Amino acid sequence: MLRSCIVCEDMAVSPDSSRLINGARASRARAWICVSLALLGLSPIAGSCQVRSPLPGPASTQAATLRDAGIAKHVVIGAAADPSHLGEMAYATTLAREFQQLEPENQMKFGPVHPRPGNDLSAYDFSPADQLVTFAQQHNMMVRGHCMVWHQQVAGWVTSGVASGKFGPAELNEILRSHISTVAQHYAGKVWAWDVVNEAFNDDGTLRSTVWYDAPGIGFAGKGTEYIEQAFRWAHAADPGAKLFYNDYDTERINTKSDAIYAMAKDFRSRGVPLDGIGFQVHVNLKFNNAEAMASFARNLKRFSDLGVEIHITELDVALDSGDPASFAAQADGYRKVTQICLQTPTCRVLQTWGFTDKYSWIPSYSHGKQGWALPFDAHYSKKPAYDSTLKALQAP
C-alpha cells in the first residue's frame, strides 16, 4: 500500500544541527499520521511521500522522492528558491515534495536584505526571506543561508558611500560587523548553515579585490584571508549554533583556486577559526562530464573531507546548449556522477541545485540566452532524465 502524505516527518535535526537523526520514532509518527488521516477519510494535501505499509513488500523498499532518498543516505537534498513563485501550486508542491532544504536564491544577500542605510532594524527588509523560512517550517524543511559577504549584490548605499569617500575602512568595518550580527541573529535557530563569505578568491588563488577586502575594505587590505576570518568570527559570535561555510565556484577540480581555499581551510581549522565547511557551487556544463574532471573533483572533495570540514554542494546545475534528448541524456550522466561523488565523500552532507525547474533557472540570463535546460525539472515541472539519474544514484545500495 502506498499513500500520499502531507509532510515527510522522517528527519529531525539535533540541537547543534550537525547530526541528522533519521529515527524510527519519526517514521512511525509519520505512518501513524497518514493512516489516521486515511481512517478519517481525509485526503492528504500538498506534497507527497511514500509511506510504507506495515507489511513488508518489494515495492515498499525504495524512497520515491529525492528528499526521502537523500534522507536514507544522510545527504540533505536542497534547492535554491524564490518566494515570488511560492503562490504557483506546481512550484510549491514540487519544492516541498522533493527537497529537504531550501536556500533563498537572492533574498538574504546584502543588497536585498539590507537595502537602506543604517544599522538599525528599519534599514533591513527581512520579509521576502522570511516567507521562504515560513514555507520551509511549514514543510519540515531546513534552511541554508546565503550569503553575508560577497562582492555582488552589495547595497547601493554601501557602494555609493564608498565611491563618495563617505565610507572608509573604519565605517565599512562597523557596517559589515553590524550587518552580519543582525542577519545572523534574526535567523538564529532558523538557518542551520550559512555561506558567510562567497567567491572571495580569484582563479589564480589570490584574493579578489572587493569593497570588503581592499577597495577600501574593512581594515585588512593586503592581509590575505584575515578579513574572511573576521567575518567568520562575527558570524559565530552572533549565532554560535549555525554552521559556517566558505562558498565558491570553479573549485570542483584541484586547481590554484581550490588549492588556496584548501590552504585557508587548513589554516582556519588549525587555529580554531569557526569554519565548519566549504561550499562547492558546481555550476558546470557538459564539458565537466569527462573522466579527468570527475576524477579531479572526487580527489578534491576527498582532501577537504580528510581535513574534517563538512562539504556542501551548494549551487549545482548542468547548463546545456540545447534541450534535445541527447543533451538531456548527457546531462543526466553528469548529475549521476556528481551525486555519486558526493555520496562517496565521507563529509559531503548537502546536495543542492540552484533552483529546480528550468522555468526559473538563472542560466539563460547569465549566459545571455546561449545556454539553459540546466535543472532536474523542465519548465512544466516534469521530471527530466537528470532527475531520474540523481534519484537512482541516491537509491543505489
Contact between residue 282 and residue 337 where contact means Cβ atoms under 8 Å apart: no
- The gap from C-alpha 335 to its chain's centroid, in whole angstroms, comes to 16
What is the crossing angle of helices 156-163 and 169-186, to 10°? 170
Residue 252 near ligand XIL by CB under 6 A: no
Catalytic residue among 199, 229, 252, 310: 199
For the CB of residue 338, give the shortest distance to ligand XIL in the complex, in Å.
17
Q: Is 199 a catalytic residue?
A: yes
Nearest to ligand XIL of 281, 345 (CB atom): 281
Residue 198 near ligand XIL by CB under 6 A: yes
Q: Is 252 a catalytic residue?
A: no
Q: Site mask, ligand XIL, residues 297-316, x = CB under 6 A? A: ------------------x-
Residue 229 near ligand XIL by CB under 6 A: no
Residue 103 near ligand XIL by CB under 6 A: no
For the CB of residue 19, give the shortest distance to ligand XIL in the complex, in Å.
27
Nearest residue to 103 via CA among 301, 312, 251:
312
For the CB of residue 83, give the shortest distance to ligand XIL in the complex, in Å.
13
For the CB of residue 150, give the shortest distance to ligand XIL in the complex, in Å.
7
346-349: Cβ within 8 A, 24+ apart: 346/305, 347/277, 347/304, 347/305, 347/308, 347/309, 347/310, 347/311, 348/75, 348/301, 348/305, 348/311, 348/312, 348/313, 349/20, 349/74, 349/75, 349/76, 349/277, 349/310, 349/311, 349/312
List the beta strands (DSSP E) in 216-308: 243-248, 277-280, 283-285
Cα–Cα distance for residue pair 63/336, rounded to 1 Å: 17
For the CB of residue 240, give the shortest distance to ligand XIL in the complex, in Å.
25
Residue 106 near ligand XIL by CB under 6 A: yes
Count the residues of the shown chain that bind ligand XIL, applying the rule CB under 6 A: 7
- Identify the DSSP state of 384: P
Among all residues, whose Cβ is closest to ligand XIL? Answer: 362
Residue 65 near ligand XIL by CB under 6 A: no
Residue 362 near ligand XIL by CB under 6 A: yes
Does residue 146 sit in helix, strand or coil? strand
Residue 105 near ligand XIL by CB under 6 A: yes
Distances (CA, A) of 317 to 347, 374, 384: 21, 5, 13
Nearest to ligand XIL of 281, 300 (CB atom): 281
Residue 107 near ligand XIL by CB under 6 A: no
List interacting residues with ligand XIL (CB under 6 A): 105-106, 198, 249, 281, 315, 362
- Report the catalytic residues: 199, 315
